Amino acid sequence: MGLGVSAEQPAGGAEGFHLHGVQENSPAQQAGLEPYFDFIITIGHSRL
């Protein structure tokens, strides 16, 4: 799965990752994530 930073904050850090690819038969594909359309902004309860 390819990921790229989606938006830099002026104070540093980022507001998530833009999905560039989803591996076949992966949990991400089973969850319905779409490359180029979806962004990952949290993992669990932690904001990226």
Which residues participate in the annotated binding site for Zn(2+)?
Answer: 18, 20
Q: Give residue for tokens 């932690």.
A: 46
Annotated binding site: 18, 20
Distances in whole angstroms, Cα of residue 32 to Cα of each of 7, 8, 23, 37, 38:
23, 26, 11, 11, 10
